[in-house]
Structure 1
Amino acid sequence: MASNGSAGIRDSPPEPGIFLDEELGSDWYIYESTESTARDDLFPEEIPECHPAISPRMYHTVMAPISLAVIVALSFLVKRRRLRRSCWNGVPGLLSPADLLGPAGPRAAAAAVCALLVSSLCQLPLQPEPLPLVSPASPAARELWKLLALLYYPAFYLPLLACAAPRRRLAYGAGTLLAWGHCAAQLGQRLHCPLGRQLPGLYSALSHVPVLLSLALLSLWYPARLIRSLGRGDGPEPQIPGKSYYRSYLKALLSKRGRKGSSAKMEESLWPRLRSYLRSYVYIPEEGFRIPLMLVVSVTTAVIAVYQVAVLLLAAALPALRAVRAGITKDAAVLLVQLGLLPGTARPGDMERELRTARHYLWALEVCYICSLALCCLLTCAMLLRTLAMHRSNLRALYQGAVLDVFSEARILRPSRGAVVCWIAFSGFQAAFACLGLLIQQVIFFLCFVAFTFLVVIPLQAGTGSLLFGIIRNMWPFWLALVVAVLLQHLLARFQFLEQHSLQTELTNRRALYIVTFLLFPTNVLVGVLAGVWRVVISGLYNAVHLCRLDISLLHRGVETFDPGYHTYCHYLKVEVSQCHPLLKAFCLLLLQPRQTEPPAAPRDTHLEEGLQLTRPAGAARARRLRARWALAYTLLRNPSLAAARKSALADPAANGARLRGPRP
């Protein structure tokens, strides 16, 4: 009996629930091992410790005193004030990083050092030791060291740029040694430990690319300047900074060039107009004009900040998505099917299809994230390039005194307290607005890509219907009615309500116009709802894309002063034009130019006739003097800073588009 009972129990088929649990349980361990393997590949539990020969603390401990010693020595070498000649042969002065208000500053060095500084500050929140010289004892102390690091890193990299200010051979030699020291230390750390412990190791490698490129540029720029200065001795460069630029600007302004008429633009086809529109987003250097150094620094810092934020977003999201895609199990697929997020299969026991579909959906999310991030970076860089072109046109207009072509109302182009503060904060505002615009664009475009992929692309690929297709299919009479109503209004306005005369167009059939307006009022309400939704969408997209541009206001002209970015840009223009006007600089150079002594005139022959003495040709010195006087008169006439001091301007305060007491931006 026992054997029969046991045989009966053994021969009886197992229950379906028990069989399903055993099958899922056996597969659970398989997928659990797969998940752990995938996680170990992406996020190993124990990242091997890497101790470079030159640790970050040692690097800063050695380079910080050397940089301080270099800048102190150069400060004693370059004496700014001579108050006490008996003490050190004059009082030394501090070295400025660069002449940010001059056109002849070290552009390559300034851009490289600012890129180096921005990269270090972007990596600061992820560093375990924000201040490399001190280890934080507690989280509160770590936040305090972060604030101190905001002042430490600019002071740490200041000597790299200050060595270019004296324009001396000794300063170029010190800059060469500093650049080589920084580059060797950073390159040694990256080669010995390419991967870091914060986030994925790839982030540490990608985030240091601008650092290495900037240091490589400085390592080549300073030796090139040193070699050029060897033939001039140890003294400073003899020429006045920017003198050649002012001359070339005045020469390009005074040169006569033929201009094409407006009829040529009207006859252009679609492709030339499209090409000219695309070229407006690419800054092409022109002869006789040079972008200010401050704007070059601002655009460089904004591009590097956008790159660092993009790398951080890429490194923070992609490994998580890949880990979820590699570790998804059949139980998770069953849950997604029950929630309606995945299409179910006809056979309940077949879960392979659902598992592949879930992984395919996660892969689609990853592709959408990468595409949206790439599109955001391209749009941000295009807007920054467009800023350069618009800045050039604005500066040219202000140089000519056309204030109303740039601002909505007349302004006095003079520096003020608020203008100086805005000029100081301009580069920081540009980098911050670019990063914030990138984050907002990433959220918007990622949602748009996801919606388009899961509502259009995947249903078409799978051959199934989607929610969007269902809405369009069920509401086609509504959409057709709106389209017909809009087309009907356009046709009636074109053929019934307008009458073309010889030179003008007149309104006709007014009775029918009133009837059609009253009958189509409910339909136009529905069209207005769609137009209002589109207005909200296009306004959000436009503001998100143009948030990084400070040369335009995102508000109406009446309230554009409440836009902090545009307000800063307006004051920045006032400082640039008032302090860096090229015609004013050319006028000052003409005044500072030493008079050339003319050779003594030859003795006259008293036996010559009087008519022969009157036909003597003018000398070259007189021709040069006449040209200099004419250029001086031209600069005085074209200088907008002197417009308010003229007699006509004093009689009429609104002359030349400016007022004596104009409102501030």
Structure 2
Amino acid sequence: MSSLRLANDNLAIDGNLAYEDWYLYEPIGDQDDTVHDTVPDCYPTIPYKLYHVCVASVSLAILLILSLLVKRKKLYKHCWDGAPGLLSPVRFLEEEGNKVLTVTVFSILFSSLCVLVLDNDPLPFISDSSTQNREYWKIMALLYYPAFYYPLIACATVRHRAGYFFGCLLSWCHCVVHLWQKVECPQSPKIYRYYSLLSYLPITLCLVILSLWYPAQLVKSFRQKTMMVAEELPGSGYYKDYLKNILAKRTPKRSTSRTKPSMLSRLRSYLCSYIYTPQEGFQFPLKLVLSLAMAVIAVYQVALLLLVTFVPNIQIVRSGMTKELTALLVQFGVVPSENVAGIPGEKELATAKHFIWSLEVCFVSSLVISCLLTFCMLMKSMVKHRINLQHLYQGAVTDVFYHSHKLKPSQQAVVSWMCFASFQTAFACLGLLIQHIVFFIGTVGFTFLVVIPLQSGTNMHLFKTVENMWPFWFILVVAVIAQNLLTHYCFLERGHLSNELTNRRALYTVTYLLFPINVLVGVFAGVWRMVVSALYNVFHFCRLDVSLLSHGVEVFDPGYRTYCHYLKIEVSQSHPVMKAFCFLLLQLCSHKGTKMGLQLKDVEEGVMLMKTKKLASKASKCQQSRARWSLAYTLLNNPSLLPYRKGALSVSTANGIPASVAKP
């Protein structure tokens, strides 16, 4: 022992190594289990700074070229004297907005923002940023990345061959550089060696989709006769199909039997309510599709971060467990020991590793359950969204809201409409975190209080507590069973017409005598009420269509309030019957030699076209009668459009043409 100490002292003196640092890098436990290769920093051939500088410059040049192609005077004649304007990224309130393009670009944007939250250099132009200024650079990154990916989606809204061509160039540039960087540097030292690769997986898939979508649209534009695709009336197909579907003759419903449905059929119908099936003649608005897609991406990113943060570290702890650490756990009573002296052996070490492995299983299983539950809630919300939109399209406002609401735009409604998709994404992230915490605590408690004691026969604390409280549980069960039996046989008389109370004197006596015992039953019921209400709010936290508060105070729920205002804007501005009627009027005008190049502004105000003097003088009585009948039938089946019809008739001009009020 003295020779070993002398050797250590000599080595410390000769190698300039302090004695305290002798065991600093000594492996703990089995060396094969604890050797983890460190991932060195990887520098790709195309640095991120150079990539962003080049692509940002090219994107800016493309935006300028496309702005020159699309003159502002085509949309607003008196705005900036026809100067070029900023291209619109997405037409959220029109059905011609491509859902695939919008979802892919927003997925790229959101995934990029999720990655930069944990990055030391949020902005690619600034490297080795200090800790004090890092938060400011993150705020700047929240503004930079939307502008960086803006041309990817703006090239498609031009609906021009040049826009599709530039979109091909941009998408190919992003995709090739991104794939090249990931092939060169598949591993990273941040959090987990494959975290960067897995977190960029949605970005990679979306870039591949964009690289295929833009060429397909470019080839499709060459097959058309006209050069300018925007001259068509986009979105008219869906509105016409919707109108034909609601005006089609309905088959008479079969007479439903009055027999009570079986338990299996009720269970099947309940499970089907959580499965969204497409319905003919109905499409979700673009904002709803975007919000649900972003919620799925958010769940993936959060689940991946939780998984790579906990599992590798707990595996390192389990592989590095030694007898010395096991002795500490034995002293605290965490690991049971059969030795009298309390010195742990191989069995105690295996038990400690088994406990840590159980924690890992509980974490992974609770994360999987949380993800599945979140997906089920999002699927259920899709079914609820469709039902609410269909009711509001029919004018049944009270079937959706608990109080009567006017479906018209307001300041709060417009702000809520803008924030709806963002709120849905944030609520999905928070809901997954809360569900995971609750399920993890529950699975750990069930494992260490029930499963492991049943396997080992030790630490039976829960079973001993329940065994000592058997009189309490016995009196609860007896009280509940006795009250139900007395009510069934003594206090309730079942007749042919209605049920009546009987033996009231005995009923009053039993109620008085069982009052103290019912207090104990009430304690158990109160605990159960608290658990059920908490679990209900945790399960439905990610759903904005369900209020977590009661009907009287539901306005204090920001998620549900945002959803209600979103429905108001969506129904008032994108009613499919109103849009279909506008397209029919525009087609009627085009058949009579009217200029076909009508703008989207005229499409939104197309209801006013039928009351202009110029069109009324040329239209025949038969066509006027047909248009008036269509208007009357539309308003009769959609009462929610009546306020907008009255407001439109009070305007003196329609589409810049003097109009006179015509009788419907």
Q: Name the residue aligned to 1:302.
A: 295
Look up the match of 1:148.
140
Say whether residues 1:278 and 2:271 are aligned partners: yes
Task: Give CA-to-partner distance per residue, 1:597-642, whole Å, 9 cap, x none.
Answer: 69xxxxxxxxxxxxxxxxxxxxxx9998866553332112233344
**Matching residue within 75, 88, 105 for 1:96:** 88
CA distance in 2, matches of 1:424, 1:370: 36
Q: Is the 8 A contact 1:51 1:193 kept in 2?
A: yes
Distance in 1 of aligned mates of 2:182 and 2:24:
40
CA contact (8 A) 2:635 2:642 kept: no
Worse overlay, 262-271 or 233-242: 262-271
Once the two structures are superposed, the pairs formed by residues 211-360 of structure 1 within 5 Å of their partners are: 211-232=203-224, 233-258=226-251, 260=253, 263-264=256-257, 267-346=260-339, 348=341, 351-360=345-354
Q: Give 2:61's aligned residue.
A: 69
CA distance in 2, matches of 1:86, 1:572: 31
Aligned to 1:5: none
Would you say the 8 A contact 2:73–2:79 is kept in 1?
Answer: no
Using a 3 Å threshold, how does the CA distance of structure 1 residues 465 and 334 change in structure 2: closer, same or farther?
Answer: closer
Deviation at 1:471, TM superposition (A): 1.5
CA–CA distance in 2 between the matches of 1:108 and 1:83? 26
Counterpart of 1:409 in structure 2 is 403
Counterpart-to-counterpart distance in 2, 1:375 and 1:259: 43
Give, in angstroms, the shift of residue 212 of structure 1: 0.6
Measure how far apart 1:272 and its partner are: 2.5
Shift of 1:140: 1.9
Q: Does 1:34 align with 2:26?
A: no
| Residue correspondences, number | 595
Segment of structure 1 superposing worse, 584-593 or 625-634: 625-634
Q: Does 1:439 align with 2:433?
A: yes
RMSD across aligned C-alpha pairs, in angstroms? 2.6
Contact 1:553 1:560 in 2 (8 A): yes
Aligned to 1:634: 633
Equivalent residue letter for 1:526: L
Instruction: Sort the Cα spacing of 1:202 and 1:84 in 2 relative to 1 into closer, same or farther, 3 A.
Output: closer
Tell me the amino acid that sits aligned with residue 454 of structure 2. L
Give deviations 1:51-89, integer Å, cap 9, x for gaps: 111221122111111111112211111123259999999
Distance in 2 (alpha carbons) for counterparts of 1:474 and 1:259: 64
- What SS does structure 2 have at the residue aligned with 1:499? strand
Q: 1:48-127 residue pairs with structure 2 within 5 A?
A: 48-81=40-73, 90-127=82-119
Q: Distance in 2 between matches of 1:417 and 1:180?
A: 41
Q: Which moved more, 1:340-349 or 1:238-247?
A: 340-349
Assess if the C-alpha contact under 8 Å between 1:281 and 1:382 holds in 2.
yes
Q: Is the 8 A contact 2:409 2:572 kept in 1?
A: yes
Structure 1 residue ranges without an equivalent (≥5): 1-27, 599-620, 648-665
Task: Quickly say closer, same or farther: Cα 1:368–1:87, change in 2 above 3 A.
Answer: closer
Could you say if the C-alpha distance between residues 38 and 332 of structure 1 is closer, same or farther in structure 2, counting changes exceeding 3 Å?
Answer: same
Q: Deviations over 1:111-153 (max 9, x none)?
A: 0111111101111122121000122542122211100000001
**Cα contact 1:291–1:392 (8 A) shared by 2:** yes
- Correspondence list, 1:213-612, <5 A: 213-232=205-224, 233-258=226-251, 260=253, 263-264=256-257, 267-346=260-339, 348=341, 351-464=345-458, 466-595=460-589, 596=591
Match of 1:268, SS state, is coil
- Letter of the aligned partner of 1:396 in structure 2? Q
CA distance in 2: counterparts of 1:368 and 1:186, whole angstroms: 36
- Could you tell me which residue of structure 2 aligns to residue 210 of structure 1? 202
Deviation string for 1:488-526 (max 9, x for gaps)?
A: 111111221111111211111111111111111111111
CA contact (8 A) 1:81 1:93 kept: no
Q: Which runs of 5+ in 2 are unaligned?
A: 1-22, 594-619, 647-664
Q: Distance in 2 between matches of 1:226 and 1:264?
A: 56
Q: Give the secondary-structure state (helix, strand or coil) at the position aligned to 2:149.
A: helix
- How far apart, CA to CA, are the structure 1 residues paired with 2:129 and 2:592? 73
- Residue identity opposite 2:383 in structure 1: A
Change (3 A) 1:455 1:88: closer
Larger radius of gyration, structure 1 or 2? 1
Are the aligned partners of 2:107 and 2:206 in contact in 1 as well (CA < 8 Å)? yes
Choose 201-210 or 441-450, whichever is displaced more.
Answer: 201-210
SS in 1 for 2:156: coil
Q: Deviations over 1:195-238 (max 9, x none)?
A: 11211112112111111111111111111111111111421255
Deviation at 1:260, TM superposition (A): 4.0
CA deviation profile, 1:287-333 (whole Å, cap 9, x unmatched): 11110001111111111111111111111111221111111111111
Structure 1 pair 85–449 and aligned structure 2 pair: CA distance change class (3 A): closer
- Distance in 2, Cα, partners of 1:579 & 1:87: 24
Query: For residues 87 and 105 of structure 1, do their structure 2 counterparts lie closer, same or farther at Cα, with a shift above 3 Å needed?
Result: closer
Q: Distance in 2 between matches of 1:646 and 1:204?
A: 55
Q: Give the SS at the match of 1:123.
A: helix
User: Deviation of residue 458 (structure 1)?
Assistant: 1.1
Give the Å deviation of 1:446. Answer: 0.1
Q: C-alpha separation between the residues in 2 aligned to 1:533 and 1:157?
A: 51
Counterpart check, 1:135 vs 2:130: no
How many Å separate the matches in 1 of 2:135 and 2:166?
A: 34
Alignment match, 1:197? 189
Determine the structure 1 residue equivalent to 2:613: none
Any idea what SS the aligned residue of 1:191 has?
A: helix
- How far apart are 1:32 and its partner, in Å? 4.0
The 10-residue stretch of structure 1 (500-509 or 238-247) with the greater mean CA deviation from structure 2? 238-247
Higher deviation after alignment, 521-530 or 630-639: 630-639
2:126 aligned partner, one-letter code? V
Shift in Å at residue 346 of structure 1?
3.4
**Distance of 2:345 and 2:253 partners within structure 1:** 71
CA offset digits 1:243-292 (Å, max 9, x no partner) = 11111111111112235457348543222322222222222111111100
Cα pair distance change 1:444/1:170, threshold 3 Å: same
Higher mean C-alpha deviation, range 227-236 or range 577-586: 227-236
Tell me how far apart the structure 2 counterparts of residues 266 and 54 of structure 1 sit (CA, whole Å).
Answer: 71
For residue 184 of structure 1, report the CA deviation from its aligned partner: 0.8
C-alpha distance 567-36 of structure 1, shift in aligned 2 (>3 A): farther
CA distance in 2, matches of 1:210, 1:90: 40
Following superposition, the deviation at residue 477 of structure 1 comes to 2.4
The amino acid across from 2:87 in the alignment is: L
Partners of 1:212 and 1:454 in 2: how far apart?
42
TM-score, normalization: structure 2?
Answer: 0.85
Is the 1:85–1:91 contact (alpha carbons within 8 Å) kept by the matching residues of 2? no
- Residue 591 of structure 1 and its aligned partner are, at CA, apart by 2.5
Counterpart secondary structure, 2:157:
coil
Between 1:505-514 and 1:471-480, the stretch displaced more is 471-480
Residue 40 of structure 1: CA displacement? 3.4
State the SS of the aligned residue for 1:536: helix
CA distance in 2 between partners of 1:88 and 1:629 (Å): 39
- 1:589 positional shift: 1.9
Deviation track 1:397-431 (CA, whole Å, cap 9, x = no partner) reads 11111111111111110001111111111111111
In 2, are the aligned partners of 1:102 and 1:580 still within 8 Å (CA)? yes
Distance of 1:289 and 1:589 partners within structure 2: 17
